[in-house]
Amino acid sequence: MSDPKNLETMRHSLSHIMAAAIREVFGTTTQFGVGPAIENGFYYDVMLADGKTISEDDLSKIEKKMRNIIKMKCDLVMSEKTRAEALIWAKEHNQRFKMELIEELPEEERITFCSIVTPKISKPKLDDGGKWAGETMVKETIFEDLCTGPHVANTGEVGPFKLMKVAGAYWRGDEKREMMQRVYGVAFENEEDLAAHLKMLDEAKERDHRKVGKELDLFCLSQQVGSGLPLFTPRGTILRDKLSELSQKVRQRVGYQKITTPHIANVELYKISGHYEKFPELLKFVSEESGDELALKPVSCPHHVGIYLSNPRSYKDLPMKYLETTMVYRDERKGELGGLSRVRAITQDDSHTLCTDSQVSDVFRELVEGAKEIYALLDMK
């Protein structure tokens, strides 16, 4: 069984090895952001000089360089610098993203670095006049990076890996900052685990809902209607209705009642509920007819509460259970929209329960059991 800590250490070390390889392939002017271990692998955010970019075709070149570094069994050596020394390092290496990170650290901070150092290799030896005077064996630092670790002892200790893709990524996740490139890789402790993961990814491509949805004529997207606003065909609507009926039947069995609420509401409703500040992607508009400021509902909660508040209630009426299958709306950046996974119109099979503190555990248990039942019927256990 894999050791999660060991695997994370290998993956993080591979992010350094990849950064070193990218620097060798694309030159010392390459800017580096951050490169953590992630689930199943690692990535590094980079920016090439002069507006150049890394393409998918470049991944094989980077992989080849990485394998050379791994074959050399270079040491990964930790060291410390003062904040002032670290800033000098960042300036000398023209690493402005690293400089930004360093500047945010306290002045008294001791900052750790990781260097990839080759075993002793043959290098030309020059005399005082700059002429060749034989060879000398020296160790060479091929990459140095701001990092807290941990890392493997040498590059030969990482497991099998494969570089997968290149994607865009804003520096520090801020769309107002520089756009960098994020190079992704996967890594595992042995070849069998890597092969199984790659096979799973290939199978997932065949099962991708966008591919299946098109082949089975379940839904479509129209630029005329708008990005992230899926349209369900007759076949897709039958499937949606059947799933909704199943979900509603499970909840109605434990006392949930169907209700219907509008798809828009006065913006003031979401200010009262607290959703206004929590949903910056709220889709707002002003009615030309009345001048009212309205919004497409991002959630159903305040609408359902509105029904509860429409009449005086007694504690004897509780719990009151509402269910509704409805669309809710949230704006998204165009670059983040994709199929039915990230949309602007989301269908929720929604439930809300108004109850006393003593009833919470029973309500929670009912919902969990209902969800488990549905997942089991759909073979999603």
Q: Give the domain ranges of the chain.
A: 4-207, 216-377
Q: For residue 263, which amino acid is it?
A: H
Architecture of domain 216-377: 2-Layer Sandwich (3.30)
pLDDT by residue (tens digit) across 35-79?
999 999 999 999 999 889 999 999 999 999 999 999 999 999 999
Contact 117, 138 (CB under 8 A): no
Q: Give 45's strand partners.
A: 182
By mean pLDDT, which of 79-83, 129-133, 289-293 is the weakest?
Answer: 129-133
The pLDDT value given to residue 164: 96
What's the CATH superfamily of 4-207?
A: Threonyl-trna Synthetase; Chain A, domain 2 (3.30.980.10)
Give the Cα-Cα-Cα angle 245, 249, 255 (nearest 5 degrees). 140
Query: Do 225 and 216 contact (CB within 8 A), yes or no?
Result: no
Q: Choose among 89, 107, 108: nearest CA to 98.
A: 89
pLDDT at position 2 over 60: no
Does the global pTM surpass 0.75? no
Q: Which residues are 322's β-sheet partners?
A: 257, 352
- Per-residue confidence at 136, pLDDT binned at 50, 70, 90? low
Average pLDDT of the chain? 91
